[in-house]
Amino acid sequence: MKKDSILIVCIIALLLLNLGTLGFLFSESTGHKPPPKPILPEMQKPGELIIERLNFDKTQQKLYQELIQEHHKAIRLLENKRFNLKENLYHSLKNEDHSIDTIVEQLGNLQKEIELRHYNHFTEIKAICKPEQMNAFDSLAEDFANIFNSKPPPRRH
């Protein structure tokens, strides 16, 4: 009887160990990892980070602020167009309008224009850098997606 109870305890212990191992492996494969450390310090704005990391002087800071104002104005106009197109797209649901392909194509073209505007904005920032700031710009460019992306990347399963 004593051997049977020892055998049962060993089997239960091995079963629990296997379940624990499977649970650990499953949690690792589903992406339950801590989120990546943010690039931006808690209260720092992206513009401040760029000025700091590129070590812009006063003249560069003034040029940079002008670039930001122009960029924000252009992006706001494009975002308004996108909002209106999406509104038209979803209104087509109640009208049972089957010509949504045109709207979806316009949305795609508009998104392309927005992304090109962002890219060109960064090339304008690069253009106001001095030669000794280029290494800092290249390093910063590697972080642009994380700095300016408002949503974290989707988890992989």
pLDDT digits (tens, 9 = 90+) for 33-57: 555 555 555 556 888 989 999 999 9
Closest CA to 77 of 113, 43, 127, 124: 113
Statement: the pTM of the whole predicted model exceeds 0.85? no
Closest CA to 137 of 124, 118, 150: 124
Could you tell me how many residues make up the chain?
157
Q: Which residues fall within 8 angstroms of residue 139, CB to CB, at 6 or more apart?
A: 53
What is the share, in percent, of the chain residues with pLDDT greater than 70? 67
CA distance 58 to 51: 10
